[in-house]
Amino acid sequence: MARADERYTPPDLTQIDISKPEALRYWARTLETDENRVRQAVRKAGPLLEDVKSELGSYGPG
């Protein structure tokens, strides 16, 4: 059975919310990186998905 955070879908797919653990786990899985890197990228680039992907050097799905 899937954990609750594995079924989590963010309310806004263009913004990354690092204040919620389930959201952070979702974005780490989606961006295929670890939670710490997502957190650092959001702190540096802001919460917009495209900015975070650029910061991470990720241009794949997400």
Q: How confident is the model at residue 1 (pLDDT cuts 50, 70, 90)?
A: very low
Residue 48: phi and psi, rounded to 5, are -70, 130
On whether residue 52 sits in a domain, the answer given is yes
- The answer to whether position 62 is within a domain reads no
Instruction: Answer whether residue 20 is part of any domain.
Output: yes
Contacts of 36 (CB under 8 A, 6+ apart): none
pLDDT the model gives residue 46: 97
Higher pLDDT, 60 or 44: 44
Contacts 24+ apart (CB under 8 A), 31-37: 31/56, 31/58, 31/60, 31/62, 32/58, 32/60, 33/58
6 in a domain, yes or no? Answer: no
What global pTM score does this model have? 0.81
Residue 18 lies in a domain: yes
Tokens at residue 55, please?
A: 């910061």
Total domains in the chain come to 1
Which residue segment(s) compose the domain that 19 sits in? 13-56
